[in-house]
Chains A and B, each alone.
Chain A
Amino acid sequence: MKAISTYFMASIVGLALLSTSSCKKALEEKPFSFYSPENFYRNESDAKAAINGVYAELWFTDLFYQPFWNITMLDDDHVAGADWFLGTTGAGNPQGYWGIDGPWVGCYTIIARANTVLENVANITDIDPDIKKRILGEAYFLRGWAYFQLVQLYGGVPIKLKSLSANNPETNVPRATVKETYDVVIADFKAAEQNLLPYGNAKAGEPGRVNQGVAKAFLAKTYLTMASGASTGNVTVRGGTDNGYYTYTKDVVKGLEGLDARAYYTLARDKAAEVISSNLYALTANWKDLWSIAGRNSKEHMWQLQSLAGSAFINNLNAYFSARSTFGVGAVWTTNNHYNDYDVQDKRVLDGITHNYQTLQGTYIFYPSWQSAQYKVVGGITYNNSGTTTAERAYTIKFSGVTDPTVVSSDAFYPMLRYAELFLMYAEAENEVNGPTTAAYNALNTVRFRSFPTTGTPAAPVPEAYAPAGMTPEQFRSYVLAERAREFNLEGVRRFDLMRWGVYLQVMNKIGTGQNNISKVRQQKNLLLPIPLNELNSNTAIKGNNFGW
């Protein structure tokens, strides 16, 4: 017995000595399943992973997984939809929407990650210098893009150009002015322009990455946004309940008062011209191909949000926007008024709107009721349209080109920038600088011609393809605004256009209760989004929210 006890005691002592001597080591934490910044940012593949992490936020729940497009696409004069979906952001009550904080949080996440990339990738030596430059350019671009969205949605915002760290611990940063925020946007886009490689360069990166042309285009867009916001004058917009033409005196966008609009229009025009004259991009000849699987990442889609079927990178754009959907029918469509704003020959409605479809319940439906001669009987099947308000739904095809349209989440791509916009930006800017010159008309018509049929030999666009000749600058301005709505319907452009032109409240309230009983009544506070409660609660340098919130 004694022997046992002695052995036992000896072994205990042994164990105790073993454990205590390794005391310090035993308490060191050993991470198993995450990477640590200390052993990262060493080589090219680290740098790539770091910049990829910035892009990832675009796809994340805060931004294009829904909140960003929900907030910016469901809130304009041309959109209608199911009230369960448009009842919050689409009805002027964004605070009721679960994703309301998304744009703020998502943009700032991009900013913080871009800052980390800029600070760390700059020190990496084990990397191809061109790739390094490109990655820095991508980071500048994405940061600029984020500030550009923030300033349009929230006004002036806190400027953070360094990551939060022991050397930069301040979390309470006050809001900059609108002008200061735009200065950051411009500086970042310029830095991106310097660092990024042109489209087509072997090292410019895979589809989905931004390139030099994209930076130039966004620089042009920024100048244009500032210029239109600062300018004064009238804008005519078709709408109201009767789809009549109404002329509004535009408001100057808050924070842009006193800006030299003409100078910025000049900058915008020249930058757009640079991209056009580079000849690196091209319009997709057949408009419908833009929205097919084969048409993804084409020369027209300068920057597209990527998806991948069968992976986690899928979204429910198809289910929300397409005629036949897992919801029965899609939840968002275009208003009848906007449908009537297109010429009947315009492929953007001929091909771009679903005219015949079968719902999930098996019902055959056609649209619109007033074109029954064309769409009621197609391919031997009789389609139906009861003519009631709920039946008139103009569904876009823009998000239906997916691998599996029968599931709620599939691989729809989202257009972040299309080459067509460069022409319309050029037309708009040229008109504001020099009036409706031939150059302005040519740019405008380039976009129109693509979506109209041709006639005769040699083939020439049908007469309706030409924008009306002899417009005054004010008419031309209004026409370009309308053309942008036709070209970029449900691509997240219209609301920003109404805002930058300072006619959002006028246009929306002219409608009042919109199609399908969606309220278009808007208040002053709807001009800017509310800053998230968590930001106000924790950032002591921000005193109070945007007006009305």
Chain B
Amino acid sequence: MLNKLNCILLAVLVWTFATTLCFAQEKKLSGKIVNESGSPLAGASVSVKNSKSSAISDQNGNFNITVPANAQVIVFSFLGMEPQEFAIGTQTIFNVRLKPNATILSDVIIVGYGTVKKGDLTGSVARIEREEFTRDAPTNILQAMQGKIAGVNVTQNDGAPGAGLSIRVRGSNSFLGGTEPLYVIDGIPFNNSSTGSTPMSIGEDEKQTLNAMSFINPNDIESIDILKDASATAIYGSRGANGVVLITTRKGRSGKDRIEANFNVGSAQVSKKLDVLDASEYAAYQNLAYRNSNIYTGTNYTLPYRGETIPDPDRPGQTYYNKSPQDFIGDTNNWQDRIFRTGLYQNYSLNISGGSDAGSHSISFNYLDQQGTVMNSAYNRFGLGLNLSRNVSKTFKVGTSTSFASTNTDGVKTGTDKSDAASAGIIRSAITFPSTIADPIAYDGVGDAFITNPYIYVNDVLNKVKGLNIFSSNYVEATFLKDFKFRQNIGFNYSNSARDQYYPRSVYEGFAMKGWGLKADNIWSNATAESILSYTKKFDKHNINAVAAGTYERTNGQSKRAEAKTFPNDALQNENLAAGEVIMPVVTNRYQSTLMSFLARVNYNFDERYLLTVSFRQDGSSKFGKDNKWAGFPSAAVAWKISNEDFMKNIKTISDLKLRFSYGKTGNQGIGSYTSLAKLSVYNYVFGGAVQTGLANDLFAGPANEKLKWETTSAYNLGLDLGMFKNRLNLHVELYKKITDDLLQNLIIPSSTGFRTQLVNSGSIQNKGLEVTLNGTVLKAKDFEWTSNFNIAFNRNKILSLGPNVTEQYGRNISTGDAPFIQTVGKPIGALYGYVENGYYDNEAEVRNDPQYTNQGNAIILRTIGEIKYKNLDNDPTTIGQGDRTFIGDVSPDYTFGFTNNFKYKRFDLSIFVNGVQGNDIINMNTRFNANLGTNKNITQEMADGAWAQGQDNTNATGPKIMRQFFRNLLFSRRFIEDGSFVRIKNVTFGYNVPLKSKTISNLRVSVGANNLLTFTKYTGYDPEINSYGDNPALFGVDLGGYPNSRTYNLSLRCNF
């Protein structure tokens, strides 16, 4: 059926295209075309309605045209200007002044496969203009979107240069499909997969992801439109459930060529350092730990810091002085200082653009060089953007928007989820590395403590990712039969990223293996073809706009990983893997997926009062089970422009009032290829000195699931737009409810099945929320203007079901034995489950009174004094076990907000942007890995001060006694969960437009700005804005010791020629 439809549609097109029109008799007209300020417009178009005649103005704006005798209306147009029509009558000279076309710049909203006038929107769509998002000099576009739009929650995964960001539109409605919205750049969908652009690392314990969108220079973007409700997103069908972000790149405008140059330099510093014990305090802490061990567990340790001369165990017959805590007084060694630095960055861009009636061009270059605040971490990008369009004839247009970017990321190991010290990553080791070790390189970190020496790691380890991105969106567009337009889009998208990694002998991994090198790369490409036919007609009070389209997308990807260990020396790093004694098997993978779609949409509006949008999309995806590849996604929306009703005409205060309601279905197919199939993986084994091939069911793929299908979200949206005082004050209120069914989930199935997880469709989630945006001009005087924009969003998430007979299930472990993410019917996705603490055992009697310890031996009773007491919540008081867990937190915020204030005084302007997140929890794994007081890891002053201690008032103790031991098993409790609420002065920018007499330079603006200037939070980690698991919605809000956030200061110069 669909095939036929497509064919007929296209056949009709060809036929109509071939039709031509005829003309007869003539007369001559002339005149001059100028712009608003009176300058002549060269290349402006002059045409006659219903006629073939047309002309173009010359250098001085003059034109001459011959028109048929019966011509009635002459039309003057110029790209970027409002066209003007005049009745010809007897007039032969027309001097015309064209005004900039306001609708093109701001009043037209991109809605996917078309545009719509802002006032005619029926769905929930928000827009950020160029000026708004380039103000704080962002280096990538996601950062530019942060806090600007109600209901769009952008979180940076960590603070590393080039690191990934996570974005959630109206809460999480998927466990597996990700929360990433669909990005569409100049009409071509872009799959923003951080994991796809992050090649594998050695050990694969690094959770840090790279930002796939980083190849786009924010300066090359004209506008960002975000589709939030289902009526707007349903046109993207199976990929619309997380919202759609439409990115429009900068195009040339009419007139003479313009040149814009941007210079941006700045510096970044970590916004916070943790207060850890200094050398003397650390030494005393260690002594206490050993002393308490001897007291409470009967060990016979000698204290590590004694202040005496002792025989050197490594050099018989010689002695050395073992320092006491006092000997360290005045030693201010802090490992954070050794790895943090002031990172400088520079960002330059140049754009040349222009246009005429014949077309437009925009060419841009960009260079970004960003040093991280951790030594030897850096990011740089070279980008090239090309945006060309050509009006081949009045009815035929071609164009391209192509960008090329080359990126380099110098990484350092942060954000790992393993507890052992060797894989702690440099942030965690900077906190925990003993401060008594003063010489940064004397201690090689290889001794029996196995603590990563952060200084050596940042200096010696190679970890680079090189990326190459090409994104190209091309079209031809033909107008025919007056009301029809046909557009063919061809998109191509290519990404290649390669990791180079080498652990030399100076660090633990490399020492043990005598060097460990890796080369890994990911390549993927995507081709899109879209055929779009649209029809626009206005008769009487009826306005119709209809779109029909067929699309086809194919993605191909592959990855490779080569690894070798044990090299003769470190000289070649990873450049000659064949020189390794131990060659690991090369791992390769290749995949492909296809998406085919047919879609249609009708917008109808009656008298600019009653608006209706109906759309339908049929999607077929290769990723799903064989009988579930196709699904349909309908939507409908109505709007009533109350302000256009007669009865409102007299209410002058209200300039705009519109009520909208929409319903629609969207899908999510954010899973990998082949997930519905059973897979055999390679599991080789050695027999008698030779490797033999072994194959078995893929442990992690789980059993096959032929029934696998889409996740479907049904969403309702009620919106109100109110403009008052000639739109000086605008209020937008959105109320929504979304229900997602057939959730795609990687369910943990009992490991006794021989699998770990299984991918299934089960369960449903509800999100409902309220978004309020208020913006307006607070004050407007002759030289002074104050505008404000405030947005706030509330989202409530609830799991409605988890599938038949399942009331709860658990998220993935976030480290050994910790699986605090519980999914329970009736609770939100980010609910946390764990034990409840109840103070400490202050004395022996208290221990013995606890039924857990009644029958234990003396050794256990004694060592338990000063330990954490957990509440018994089940019927078995003799054991604190899994039954004693309860709900202890939730990582979803209550609300998020953004507040921007812009002030303008004469040539000065000031912008202050504050954003905040309230009511969310963060799992602080730094604390989790370090809270076991008494190990050889350094701790914070706060932890040391709060420890339980014999003979002191322990009512306010915050931790167990400081003791070297190996029995203490800290259960997952609120101890590791903190309130992640924050309010942040995200950006302050102060600018000045320099008055110029020069004719070449039309505008020069200088500004200074600060990002992350001040943060108000109770979170004890580096920064509350952290999300170590990237776009995994089931593991949101975890701090694994990620790269700290930084405060940046920058100086910008913008120059227009």
Name A's B-contacting residues (CB within 8 A): 1-2, 4-6, 8-10, 12-13, 15-17, 19-21, 23, 26-38, 40, 46, 48-60, 82-84, 86-88, 90-93, 95-98, 100-101, 104-105, 108-109, 111-113, 115-116, 157-158, 160, 163-165, 171-173, 205-209, 297, 306-314, 316, 319, 326-328, 331, 359, 361-363, 384, 386, 389-391, 404, 406-409, 509, 512-513, 517, 519, 521, 523, 525, 532-540, 544-545, 547-549
Q: How far is the CB of A24 from chain B (nearest CB, A)?
A: 9
A1 touches B697 (CB 8 A): no
Choose among A36, A207, A362, A534 the residue that contacts B687 (Cβ–Cβ < 8 A). A207
Choose among B20, B583, B680, B691 the residue that contacts A35 (Cβ–Cβ < 8 A). B680
B621 touches A27 (CB 8 A): yes
Q: Tell whether B723 is near chain A: CB-to-CB under 8 Å.
A: no
B754 touches A164 (CB 8 A): yes
Closest to A37 in B: B678
Q: How far is the CB of B570 from chain A (nearest CB, A)?
A: 14
Choose among B10, B621, B693, B750 the residue that contacts A538 (Cβ–Cβ < 8 A). B750
Q: Name the B residues within 8 Å of A327 (CB-CB).
A: 448, 512
A534 touches B688 (CB 8 A): no
Q: Tell whether B60 is near chain A: CB-to-CB under 8 Å.
A: no
Asked if A23 meets B857 with Cβ closer than 8 Å, knowing A29-B677, A35-B680, A534-B819, the reply is no
A33 to B754, CA, bound (A): 22
A108 touches B7 (CB 8 A): no
A1 to B223, CA, bound (A): 33
Closest to A540 in B: B805
Most buried by B among A2, A9, A10: A9
Q: Tell whether B951 is near chain A: CB-to-CB under 8 Å.
A: no
**B window 854-888: CB within 8 A of A:** 856-857, 859-860, 879, 881-883
Instruction: Add 6 more A-B contacts to A29-B677, A84-B449, A158-B752 (CB < 8 A).
Output: A2-B20, A313-B685, A316-B512, A409-B565, A533-B819, A535-B751
Q: Name the B residues within 8 Å of A13 (CB-CB).
A: 7, 10-11, 13-14
Q: Tell whether B809 is near chain A: CB-to-CB under 8 Å.
A: yes
A83 to B396, CA, bound (A): 78
B685 touches A55 (CB 8 A): yes
Q: How far is the CB of B360 from chain A (nearest CB, A)?
A: 20
Spot the interface stretch: B84-92, B114-122, B588-596, B771-779: B588-596
B678 touches A5 (CB 8 A): no
B550 touches A207 (CB 8 A): no
Q: Mark B541-570, 1 if CB is under 8 A from A, else 0.
A: 000000000101000000000000110000
A53 touches B513 (CB 8 A): no
Q: Tell whether B650 is near chain A: CB-to-CB under 8 Å.
A: no
Q: How far is the CB of A63 from chain B (nearest CB, A)?
A: 12
Q: Name the B residues within 8 Å of A206 (CB-CB).
A: 687-688, 690, 692
Asked if A534 meets B748 with Cβ closer than 8 Å, knowing A23-B620, A29-B677, A98-B816, the reply is yes
A56 touches B694 (CB 8 A): yes
A537 to B817, CA, bound (A): 12
A92 to B696, CA, bound (A): 35
A336 to B137, CA, bound (A): 67
Closest to A382 in B: B316
Closest to A20 in B: B3
Most buried by A among B2, B315, B755, B967: B967
Choose among B301, B592, B750 the residue that contacts A172 (Cβ–Cβ < 8 A). B750
Choose among B6, B673, B879 the residue that contacts A547 (Cβ–Cβ < 8 A). B879
Q: Name the A residues within 8 Å of B860 (CB-CB).
A: 521, 523
A37 to B623, CA, bound (A): 18
Choose among B313, B813, B879 the residue that contacts A534 (Cβ–Cβ < 8 A). B813
Asked if A307 meets B748 with Cβ closer than 8 Å, knowing A6-B14, A513-B297, A513-B299, the reply is no
Choose among B621, B674, B685, B816 the residue that contacts A100 (Cβ–Cβ < 8 A). B816
Asked if A9 meets B819 with Cβ closer than 8 Å, knowing A1-B392, A37-B680, A409-B513, the reply is no
Q: Tell whether B1015 is near chain A: CB-to-CB under 8 Å.
A: no
A260 to B478, CA, bound (A): 92
Choose among B3, B623, B685, B816 the residue that contacts A306 (Cβ–Cβ < 8 A). B685
B3 touches A52 (CB 8 A): no
Q: How far is the CB of A387 from chain B (nearest CB, A)?
A: 11
Closest to B398 in A: A8
Q: Name the B residues within 8 Å of A359 (CB-CB).
A: 314
Closest to A84 in B: B448
Choose among A10, A160, A313, A544 the residue that contacts B881 (Cβ–Cβ < 8 A). A544
Closest to A157 in B: B752
A27 to B20, CA, bound (A): 40
Q: Tell whether B679 is near chain A: CB-to-CB under 8 Å.
A: yes
B752 touches A34 (CB 8 A): no
A111 touches B879 (CB 8 A): no
25 A-B residue pairings within 8 Å (CB atoms): A6-B14, A23-B596, A26-B622, A33-B589, A35-B680, A35-B695, A36-B679, A52-B683, A55-B687, A91-B966, A98-B419, A157-B752, A158-B750, A163-B754, A165-B703, A206-B687, A363-B315, A409-B512, A409-B513, A409-B565, A513-B297, A517-B301, A537-B819, A539-B750, A544-B881
Q: Tell whether B49 is near chain A: CB-to-CB under 8 Å.
A: no
Asked if A407 meets B513 with Cβ closer than 8 Å, knowing A108-B752, A310-B583, the reply is yes
Q: Tell whether B407 is near chain A: CB-to-CB under 8 Å.
A: no
A361 to B2, CA, bound (A): 76
Closest to B748 in A: A538
Most buried by B among A15, A34, A328, A525: A34
Asked if A386 meets B311 with Cβ closer than 8 Å, knowing A160-B753, A207-B687, A404-B566, the reply is yes
A52 touches B685 (CB 8 A): yes
**B window 742-784: CB within 8 A of A:** 747-756
A68 to B623, CA, bound (A): 38
Q: How far is the CB of B755 from chain A (nearest CB, A)?
A: 7
Choose among B298, B448, B856 the residue that contacts A328 (Cβ–Cβ < 8 A). B448
Q: Tell whether B511 is near chain A: CB-to-CB under 8 Å.
A: yes
B552 touches A91 (CB 8 A): no
Choose among B419, B513, B751 the residue that contacts A105 (Cβ–Cβ < 8 A). B751
Choose among B311, B449, B621, B810 the residue that contacts A537 (Cβ–Cβ < 8 A). B810
Q: How far is the CB of A37 from chain B (nearest CB, A)?
A: 5
Closest to B16 in A: A9
Q: Name the A residues within 8 Å of B684 (CB-CB).
A: 52, 56, 313
Asked if A82 meets B448 with Cβ closer than 8 Å, knowing A16-B10, A104-B751, A206-B688, the reply is yes
B966 touches A96 (CB 8 A): yes
Q: How far is the CB of A207 from chain B (nearest CB, A)?
A: 4
Q: Name the B residues within 8 Å of A49 (CB-CB).
A: 692-695
A362 touches B882 (CB 8 A): no
Closest to A40 in B: B680
Asked if A534 meets B629 with Cβ closer than 8 Å, knowing A12-B531, A37-B697, A308-B689, the reply is no
Closest to A165 in B: B703
A52 touches B857 (CB 8 A): no
Asked if A34 meets B581 with Cβ closer than 8 Å, knowing A16-B550, A533-B819, the reply is no
A40 to B680, CA, bound (A): 9
Closest to A517 in B: B299
Q: Name the A residues within 8 Å of B583 (CB-CB).
A: 310-311
Most buried by A among B512, B694, B697: B694
Q: How far is the CB of A42 from chain B (nearest CB, A)?
A: 12
A59 to B14, CA, bound (A): 65
Q: Tell whether B148 is near chain A: CB-to-CB under 8 Å.
A: no
Asked if A408 meets B695 with Cβ closer than 8 Å, knowing A29-B622, A100-B817, A537-B810, the reply is no
Asked if A326 meets B6 with Cβ closer than 8 Å, knowing A54-B696, A95-B969, A306-B685, the reply is no
Q: Name the B residues within 8 Å of A536 (CB-CB).
A: 882
Choose among A316, A519, A523, A545 the residue that contacts B966 (Cβ–Cβ < 8 A). A519
A10 to B2, CA, bound (A): 20
Closest to A113 in B: B696
A362 to B318, CA, bound (A): 14
B596 touches A311 (CB 8 A): no
A532 touches B550 (CB 8 A): no
Q: Tell whether B38 is near chain A: CB-to-CB under 8 Å.
A: no
B550 touches A208 (CB 8 A): no
Closest to B450 in A: A84
Q: Name the B residues within 8 Å of A96 (CB-CB).
A: 816, 966, 969
